[in-house]
Each structure stands twice: as structure tokens, then as C-alpha cells.
Amino acid sequence: MDALLSSQLPALVIGSVVLFLGAYLFYLWLLPKPIPGIPYNAKATRSLFGDIPDMLDHLDRNKTLPDWMEAQNARYNSPIVQLFFYVFQKPVVVISDFKESQDILMRRSKEFDKPDMISDAFYGIVRDHHTLLKSGDEKFKSQRKWLQDLMSQTFLHGVAGPHLHKTFMELVQMWQEKMRLAGPEGCPYSVKTDIAHSALEAIWAAMFGTGETATITMKQIDLLSSIEPGSIKASSDGALQIPQADRAPTFDAILRLTHTFEGVVQSVSPRIYGWFLPYRFPKLVKLKDQLIIDEINKAQRRMHDINGEQGKVFNAVDHMLYREKQQATKEGRKPQYYSKAMIAEIFGLLIAGHDTTSTTLMWIMKLLTGHPTIQSKLRAELRASYSAAHAEARVPTAQEITNTPVHYLDACLEELLRCAQTASIPSRTTTTDAVVLGSVIPKGTRVVLLGCGGGIMKPSYPVADSLRSTTYHNASGGKTAAWDESNAAQLAALNPDRWLRSRADGSRVFDAALGPHLSFGAGPRGCFGRKLASLELRIALVLILWHFEMLDLPAHLDTYAAVDQLTCVPVQCYARLARAG
């Protein structure tokens, strides 16, 4: 027996050593592998979890990723760093340099393409949306054709504009009721939910029309109009606790599904987290799908009634079905109006259009409340520019707002977008090994381009011109000018005048090329809905300032804390409104 054991002992020892060495080598293989030449946290490469503990510690105190990412660039005083916050995946390269970001987005799209962080967010509940597809994919080209009419001036001004104007006038009416309830002392109240609802109603109206819709805002107006001033008391923080009308089930489902993006964005495995969402919220997904199918049914009936004439459309879904019918005829097949891709495109436009506008409007309210001089100047410019409406004591029409040039309004919108940082981390994935600032980034690496970083909201990091790409030099650096970076505080401050160029006659005109920002990304895969979002913000801002003055708030109700969802949403959004003079 002893002899048997003694003969087996060497084999057991050898087996144990091999097993241990195998496990150790496997552990080493799993450890994060840095890209040569790019700064990184050495401690992160000695843990399977990389930078995740540091990131989670930050998110426990501050609910946004971009500021944590930019802090790493500042830590190494470098425009490019690499982070390890996706488990068992390649590092994420973070670039905090506008010139390099613009070059990648606009001139190097063959090397840097989708998917991106938005694709990861959409993967769970909008899996068939075009944002998940590479630019060369035939499905991408086909699905984008459905949307091509939606950013035309004909649709924006003729179809969307009147719907948006009606929706935001309802918001104005609701805030007038809140003003009444706030009384002469002007108690503050939250407007965060109001803006979220109105922004969804606005894109809802553009997508589906408003003919049969009893909006949540109108329900809220009915509720508030039945309440007597003084019957609502302020809470311990001094804000009025105003009751909220019930939301329709489909409306509620859309809003609740958009809130799921917070978990996806902050997950260390976004696609795995997202994959489970349809199974976690099956009722919400079913309501969403049924809503869209019902709207497609209505659009199909309208198409039949008007014999498919493109000139007679009433909303975005009408346009999309018309385009699908055109494509089907050209390809000799039946139209696929109810395909998963069609449903995904409709839902994607609905939630992206809602989230961007909603979040940006919240930041606009906060920023203008904190800058009363800019607020007053813009209101005066609006009164002068829409002089007929002012003289007739009426509200500017949708046509007047869209067709009348107001340079200071354009400058304010551009600057508010720059400072709001609604979506400040456009990203791409390398399709091949690509050289960026002297380092080779391997194929399949996620690259994040900070919209809050160097050259935009902070002074640029030093970069030798020799490290720039051939495409950058061929374009002579691009046409976008640089801001004066000599004063970091002034660079970060809200200043619409930075977007105005003086002409020989002394007048000042808006010029989008005077300086950088990446609010809508850039290049062929930049934000597709930029024109629609800009129109929404323009109409909303004009109508709000036409009616209201935003008064200062107590400091505890005016914090700038934010949380990452599909966009970077303010935690608080309160208002004290007075009638504009």
C-alpha cells in the first residue's frame, strides 16, 4: 500500500503543479492587456477587474462617467489614455482632444465605425435599430432610407413644426397653472417631469400625429386648474409638492423603458445586461410593440386612402411606410411594414428624440436660471425679431419661429448645447489597426471621444503636430476654429457671444465654425436626428422665454448633479417662474 502511494506521489505532485501553473497562466491571460504607448493605471492591470473598482467608487458619489474619464486624462496630463472597465475585453481608449476627435469622426470613418456605446445601450430593447449596424452593411443602408425624408425642410417645417408648437404651448399653459398655485411668494416647484412628458409628447406628435391623442399635459392642466391656490403646501425643502395626473399605459411604458438605459450605461457588461431587459420587462415591451403596430396600421390605412401619394402625409410614420413601399416596388417584393427593423426604427427615433430634447431642455432651464443677464438679452432679441407678434400681443407662430433668422438665438442654442453636455461621449470601434496620436490601436477597440474635454470645455492637452494623422494634415486641421484657451474658467463659462462674428457693417452674425463642440457627434454617423432636435429646442425655448422669466432658486434646489441614462440627465430641475415683461 505504502509502495503504491509512494509511486503515485510524484504523479500527484506533477499534476498539482501543472494544474496550478495552468490556472496561474489562465489568470495571467485574463488580466487586462494595455496597448503600448498609451498611459494607463498600472494597478488596474494587476486585477481581473481592471479600473472597475475605481469607476464604481466614482459612480457611487457621482452618477456620470464622462467626468471620471476626463479625470484620467487630467491625471496623466495626456489627450489619450486607456481604461479597463469592460470585463475580459480590450481596453477602452479615451481621447480628450477636439481636433483628434473631429478627425476620427469626420475623416476616418472607414477606420472607426459603429458599434458604439449607444449601440450597446440600444442592444437590449432596440436590437434591430440601424445604430448597431456597420456603415457598409446593406441593412443599414436600407433602414436609413426609411428615415431620409424626416430631416428635410418640408417635413420639419411643414409637418413637425406645427405639432411641436402645439405641444410646447400646452407646456406653457401648464406652467401658467403652476405659477398660479405658487402664489405671490413664488414658491419653487419641480419641472423635471413636465419637461420629460412634453418632450415625449413633442416627438410623439411628430412621429404619430396628435389627432387622437389626449395628452398627459392636458390632463395635468385639467388637474391643476381644479386646485385652489394655497391648498398645496411646500415640503421641508421649500418646494411645492404638486400632484401628478396618471399617465396612459403606453406613454408610461415608453418612459419606463427609457429609464432602463441607466443600468445599461453603468454596467460593466452592457450587452449582457441589456440582453435580459426584454425578459425583465415583458409587459412594457409588449405595450411598446402594440403601440407601434397600431400606429403602422393607421398609417397604412391613410396610405390606402390617399393612394400612397407622398405629398399627403401627416407624420413621420407615414413617410417611413411610403419609403418602404418605394423600396419594395423597386426590389420586386411585398412591403414589410411590420418587420422588427421597422418597429425598431420607429421606437429608436421616439426614445432618442425624447431623451435628447428632454435632457437638454432641463439643462437649458438650469443654465438660464443661473444667467439672468443672458436670459433677458435673449428675450429682448426675440421681441425685436418677432416684432409683428410682439406688436399684436400674440405668440410667434411655428412658421415665424422656423423662418425668421435670430442670430443671438442661434448662438444661445449652440452655447447651451456645448455647456449642457447632454451626450458628451460619442464613441466608435476600430475596424482595423489604426494609429492615433502616435500609438497603434488594435482592431476591435472601443474609442471614446470626450465632448467635455480638451479644446471644448477645458484647455487642450499638448499635442505635437507630427502626431496628427495624414487626413488631419490634408484637411489643414479642418475649418473649425479654436477657442481662446488662456483662461480655463472663461472657456467653461456660458457665453453665447463666443458664437457671434462681427461683420464690416458692425452687425454680428452666428457662425457655427467659430469654435468646437461635439453635442451631436460629427461625420457620417453623427446624430441623425440633429435637425429635428434643434427644431424642438428652438420652438420650446422661444415659447418659454416669450411667456416666462426664470427667477433665481435656493442653492439646495439648484445643484448641478447629474446621472447617466441614454443622456446625462440633471438630478434636479426646479423653477420659479414669473410672467415675462
Annotated binding site for heme: 527
> For residue 395, what is its C-alpha cell?
405668440
Residue 403, all three cell numbers: 423662418
Is residue 277 within 8 A of residue 121, CB to CB? The reply is no
**CA distance linking residue 68 with residue 70, whole number of Å:** 6
Q: Are 510 and 410 in contact (CB under 8 A)?
A: yes
The residues, ordered by sequence, that sit 6+ positions from 458 with a Cβ below 8 Å of its Cβ are 70, 96, 452, 488, 491, 492
Binding residues are 527
CA distance 559 to 573: 9
In sequence order, what are the beta bridge partners of 240?
189, 234
SS3 463: coil
CA distance 420 to 360: 6
Task: State how far the Cα of 481 lies from the Cα of 465, in Å rounded to an integer.
Answer: 16
Helix or strand or coil: residue 273? helix
Q: If we measure between CA atoms, which residue out of 181, 136, 4 comes closest to residue 525?
A: 136
Q: How many helices (H) and strands (E) does the chain have?
A: 24, 15
**Alpha-carbon span 174 to 320, nearest angstrom:** 33
The CA distance from 305 to 292, in Å, is 20
Q: What distances in angstroms separate CA 379 from CA 89, 170, 236, 274, 383, one per listed residue?
A: 51, 20, 34, 44, 6
Q: What secondary structure does DSSP assign to 235-264, as a single string?
A: -TTS-B----PPPPHHHHHHHHHHHTHHHH
The span from the CA of 65 to the CA of 575, in Å, is 27
Four-CA torsion 10, 13, 18, 23, nearest 10 degrees: 170
Spatial distance between the Cα atoms of 254 and 248, rounded to a whole number of angstroms? 10
The sign of the torsion formed by the CA atoms of 274, 278, 280, 281 equals positive
- Rounded Cα distance, 453 and 461, in Å: 9
Residue closest to 322 by CA, chosen among 334, 332, 337, 333: 337
Which cell numbers hold the place of 552? 433665481
Give helix 340-369 / helix 372-385 axis angle, nearest 10°.
110
Helix (H, G, I), strand (E, B) or coil at 579: strand
Contact 364, 420 (CB under 8 A): yes
At a CB cut-off of 8 Å and minimum separation 6, what does 119 contact?
Answer: 131, 132
